[in-house]
Structure 1
Amino acid sequence: MRFQREIVKVKEARARLLPHINELDTEILPLSQCHGRTLAEEITAPIPLPHFRRSSMDGFAIQARATKGATKENPVWLKVLETIPCGNVPRCEITDTTASRIMTGAAVPDSADAVVMLEMTQTAVKNGETYVGVEREIAPGTNVAAIGEELEQGTLLLHKGRRIGPGEIALLATFGHAQVKVYRKPRVAIFATGSELLEADAPLEPGKIRNSNSYMLYSLLLDCGAEPLMQPILPDDVSQAQTAILQAMETADLVITTGGVSVGDYDILVDIFERWDGQMLFNKLAMRPGSPTTVGVRNNRFLFALSGNPGACFVGFELFVRPVILGMMGKTEFDLPLITASMAVDFTKPSGFERYVRGIYQIEDGRVYVRPAGLEKSSVTLTIRDTNCLIIVPPGGRGVKKGDQVQVLMLKKLE
């Protein structure tokens, strides 16, 4: 298996993941605890919005026909019956000789069909009574939000599988969802392998490096809405690593390892996949970086063996791990957004496989341009800091030139 590997294209590899993605259990949480969680049910509007005729201005509720012929020089005078603040129910009936002072957001009397802005009126007091002078003709419906103007009853508000953010929180509160059904967070165990690795707080030693991949994966998992479970660094010992990984697969929903997937003498994940009783989905991809990325399934749980090179680990997560995690939380559309952009610079590094270049997009004069985030080597960590897209460079010897159109996977929204 170490040298005789079936080469699988990225599209085919992603397709092999799909039959094994299973939705997780759900739980009910208070709305205040739902930020960043994923809806496990569709939410429809139980009432129209607004559910009463609502004033959209500070002014006076009137009958529009009463203002016929009104001008600034010859206003129509109406007797003010009451003041209607927000939250109060109107008490007085409006006629063509009366009006009610009303605030923005307050309920418009059933007998009124318009609200005239305060700025279009003048007031006077006569014999202890307040009168408002309307200085122009007002059309029926002016400054009155009709029942259901924003949303009709039964309208689909939020799809199942939607990530809950500030806008979703506002809608859920508006329609009385104090308790919300959400998917349980996937519990994901993270193992870094390699006797050369040190913990992040350890002093450097000759020939050794600090473990950055586990922390990067931890952050990426939080961004997905998962619950990352940091595990101890595994040495280059097959039996010890296999025991730890298989134990983690009994309790976690998914396991990610980084390192040990290539063809070297100390690439222990290759030996583990040869020994285990699970199903291997693929172990060689027609892509750069991360060609030896390996994925298997055991007892309906994924084991993702990503490259130990930080750049390749990052790309492997975005292409393969993120979709699975989103699918476990009810997402049915989890592909990264794909756009076409223009190369801002030459990229002439040849590759026999399709290459996913960590890139930076920018918008100039309404067009999207992309460039590599820096030195394109799978072992480079610095470029991950600035990457907001993956530039897809077709296989072949020439790479792409400045001005060429390329396909780009967006990791962050266009801004």
Structure 2
Amino acid sequence: MNKDFMQHAKFKRNIVQPDQAQQLIMPYVKLLETEHVALTEARGRFLAEPVLAPHPYPHFRRSGMDGYALRSEDTKGAATDKPVTLEVIDEIPAGSLPGVPLRPGTAARIMTGAKVPDEADAVVMLEMTEKLEQEGQTLFTLKREIEAGTNLTPIGRELQAQDLLLEAGRMISAGETSVLATFGYHQVLVRRRPRVAICSTGSELLRVEEPLQDGRIRNSNTYTLACQVQDAGGEPYILDSIADDLELAKQRVMKALEEYDIVITSGGVSVGDYDIMADLVQEGSVTMLFNKVAMRPGSVTTAAVYGDKLLFALSGNPGACFVGFELFARPAIRGMLGASDPYLPRLEAVLGEDYTKINNFTRFVRGSLEYKEGRVYVHPAKLDESGVMITIKDSDVLIVVPPTSTGFTAGQQVTAILLPKGI
């Protein structure tokens, strides 16, 4: 394919809407193979199979209070002026079993969480009793009737054997870990993390450790993307940046596509003479999914496929690169992990102040959340241009601003995409 044709094709782009772009990607998102990991290493991973309860929970009748386990029929008629006296014949700490069967008129001192004797059908809390010592016996009095089932957790109250504990595609966090540990799952079956290669293009880029040079900038996008990949559940691999050399870029990207599950580049996707990624995706060896999206920032965001590998060519502008990853690369990574919903959650909110920019495309505006008087407000960042980096760190949401010729005013209802804050 000659250079003149590629330059011509680079300027002729078929525009797609953001949701269309997402849907064009998903058919090429393939589930990764499974692996067992220790429960201690499972945080942030996605279950590859449903998890069922191997036994009921709780699996024995347990006390909900410190007090006395008793037979409710022994408390019939108890009143303030007619207390019932019961003999204490056993003591059951948590983790221990009842030592003797309860006879009529007897009870067992019991601690919270301990197994209730088979003969007992209720537990009375300690504060409702008065302890007595009489002729070597330990007794207590009770001045009210106790109903069967009081302060007693029955077998299977929360779950029965073979009930669904966790569905496939669920991310493991603190609550899921608690459930898995409770039922003895010390290992879990999850999807392997996708290996994601990250590289930036441009002869203007400096390494982070290099001193500033006039006309050049440090390569920050690579490190931002590495964090985003980790937050999405992938394993980032930072590659050396690529100078403005089409053949070198092609060699590097093709090698990365052979070695990694996904390749993400930043920079070089515009229409300038040195925007090499825009040229590379016109090569016949890759199938381009889209190379222009009706969005700001990041309209030149590009996605392509090489064999069964996805290539995301994101804008070199920090704001556009950040947004492009969250909208397109993140769902692909989550989909490979088997996430039940790979997309970021959305909510309806009230626009906190006027947004006066006129848009031909949908804008994804960085912003912050505020909860006030029972309502959710979103406030656009003061600086939200494509090349602005500093407001990324303060943003909770991307405010979705549809095309408009008039702008939006404070108080209008808008949709906001919740940004991740790590796992």
TM-score by length of 2: 0.95
Q: Pick from 391, 395, 408: which aligns with 2:416?
A: 408
Which residue number corresponds to residue 31 of structure 1? 39
| 1:104 and 2:112 matched | yes
Contact 2:170 2:340 in 1 (8 A): no
| 1:176 and 2:179 matched | no
Q: Name which of structure 1's ranges 251-260 and 391-400 shifts more when overlaid on structure 2.
A: 391-400
Contact 2:45 2:171 in 1 (8 A): yes
State the distance in 2 between where 1:300 and 1:374 align: 41
Task: Tell me which amino acid in the other structure corresponds to 1:121.
Answer: T
User: How far off its partner does 1:72 sit?
Assistant: 4.3
| 1:166 and 2:177 matched | no
User: How far off its partner does 1:306 sit?
Assistant: 0.4
Which residue number corresponds to residue 244 of structure 1? 252
Q: Pick from 338, 351, 360: which aligns with 1:330?
A: 338
Task: Tell me which amino acid in the other structure corresponds to 1:409.
Answer: I
| 1:227 and 2:224 matched | no
State the distance in 2 between where 1:131 and 1:276 align: 90
Question: Aligned runs of 1:148-227 on 2, under 5 Å?
Answer: 148-227=156-235
Task: Tell me which amino acid in the other structure corresponds to 2:212.
Answer: L
| 1:127 and 2:135 matched | yes
Which residue number corresponds to residue 147 of structure 1? 155
Deviations 1:330-357 (A, max 9, x none): 1232222222211111111112111111
User: How far off its partner does 1:253 sit?
Assistant: 0.4
Contact 1:189 1:254 in 2 (8 A): yes
User: How far off its partner does 1:23 sit?
Assistant: 0.3
SS in 2 for 1:32: helix
Q: Pick from 342, 359, 376: which aligns with 2:367?
A: 359
Deviations 1:100-159 (A, max 9, x none): 111100000111000000111111111211112123211110000010111122221111
State the distance in 1 between where 2:121 and 2:340 align: 46
User: Unaligned regions of 5+ residues in structure 1, if any?
Assistant: none
| 1:266 and 2:291 matched | no
Deviations 1:250-304 (A, max 9, x none): 1110000000001011100011112241211000111111000000011100000
Which residue number corresponds to residue 309 of structure 1? 317
Task: Tell me which amino acid in the other structure corresponds to 2:316.
Answer: G
Deviations 1:205-232 (A, max 9, x none): 0001111101100111111111000111
Which residue number corresponds to residue 53 of structure 2? 45
Which residue number corresponds to residue 351 of structure 2? 343
User: How far off its partner does 1:11 sit?
Assistant: 1.2
| 1:381 and 2:380 matched | no
Deviations 1:57-78 (A, max 9, x none): 0100001121122234532111
State the distance in 1 between where 2:370 and 2:251 align: 47
SS in 1 for 2:107: strand
Q: Pick from 122, 132, 147: which aligns with 1:114?
A: 122
Task: Tell me which amino acid in the other structure corresponds to 1:95.
Answer: R
- Matched-pair identity in %: 50
Contact 1:357 1:392 in 2 (8 A): yes
Task: Tell me which amino acid in the other structure corresponds to 1:71.
Answer: A
TM-score by length of 1: 0.97
User: How far off its partner does 1:382 sit?
Assistant: 0.8
State the distance in 1 between where 2:404 and 2:39 align: 52
Question: Aligned runs of 1:56-135 on 2, under 5 Å?
Answer: 56-135=64-143
Question: Aligned runs of 1:393-404 on 2, under 5 Å?
Answer: 393-404=401-412
Task: Tell me which amino acid in the other structure corresponds to 1:232.
Answer: D
SS in 1 for 2:237: strand
Q: Name which of structure 1's ranges 356-365 and 89-98 shifts more when overlaid on structure 2.
A: 89-98
User: How far off its partner does 1:186 sit?
Assistant: 0.6
SS in 2 for 1:77: strand
State the distance in 1 between where 2:381 and 2:142 align: 63
Q: Name which of structure 1's ranges 333-342 and 375-384 shifts more when overlaid on structure 2.
A: 333-342
SS in 2 for 1:139: coil
Which residue number corresponds to residue 14 of structure 2? 6
Deviations 1:70-111 (A, max 9, x none): 234532111111101112221322233000111100000111
Give the RMSD, CA atoms, in angstroms. Answer: 1.2
Task: Tell me which amino acid in the other structure corresponds to 2:396.
Answer: N
Contact 2:296 2:361 in 1 (8 A): yes
SS in 2 for 1:274: coil
User: Unaligned regions of 5+ residues in structure 2, if any?
Assistant: 1-8
Contact 1:62 1:96 in 2 (8 A): no
SS in 2 for 1:321: helix
Q: Name which of structure 1's ranges 286-295 and 371-380 shifts more when overlaid on structure 2.
A: 371-380
Which residue number corresponds to residue 4 of structure 2? none
Q: Pick from 283, 297, 306: which aligns with 2:305?
A: 297
User: How far off its partner does 1:412 sit?
Assistant: 4.6
State the distance in 2 between where 1:170 and 1:406 align: 37
User: How far off its partner does 1:398 sit?
Assistant: 1.4
Q: Kindly tell me the number of residue pairs found equivalent between the two proteins.
A: 413
